[in-house]
Amino acid sequence: MSTTFKGSYWDNDGKYQAQYDLAWKQLIPASGEADDGLPEALRAISRIGYDYYNNGFCNLWRSWDDGDTTMDSYYEGLVDYLRDHTPHNLHKEFRGWLKTTQGYCNWGSGGEDILDRIIDHIVQQIIEQELIETEALTA
């Protein structure tokens, strides 16, 4: 398995870790989808990251008897959802990195910092749009 780097949300040390944690408390339901937009985008990238760090994308990628590997439709939906909530170049880089992880329990060839950079972007937008109550962070 790849190692995480300083500043990883997986290690609870992301750039906006306190705001990320607060967004989870305030915007993400215990089960099911979050509200459309940035809350659901945050849930989507976090679900993708969870499968990566826990399973090496054993759930994201499906391997078939003929040797073909395809993305599971649930995760494909999450990846597609992020297209509308991340800058084009960031999403393109993300899709490119995902291709390096194809196979059974494959942690890719580095580049997992893309997960954290997408979270950074989404949380920064959540902060700017004042979707979370941040008074508790400054008290």
Count of domains observed in the chain:
1
What's the domain range around 101? 29-138
Single pTM value for the model: 0.89
Task: Give the pLDDT of the chain (139 residues) as one tens digit per residue.
Answer: 444 456 799 999 999 999 999 999 999 999 999 999 999 999 999 999 999 999 889 899 988 888 788 999 999 999 999 999 999 999 999 999 998 888 766 666 678 899 999 999 999 999 999 999 987 676 5
Check residue 7 and give its pLDDT.
Answer: 77
CA distance 98 to 117: 14
Residue 93 lies in a domain: yes
Check residue 86 and give its pLDDT.
Answer: 97
Question: By the 8 A CB rule, do 9 and 19 touch?
Answer: no
CA distance 32 to 59: 18
Residue 89 lies in a domain: yes
Check residue 38 and give its pLDDT.
Answer: 98
Residue 4 lies in a domain: no
Residue 20 lies in a domain: no
Residue 12 lies in a domain: no
Residue 1 lies in a domain: no
Residue 17 lies in a domain: no
CA torsion, points 128, 132, 137, 139, in degrees to nearest 10?
Answer: 110
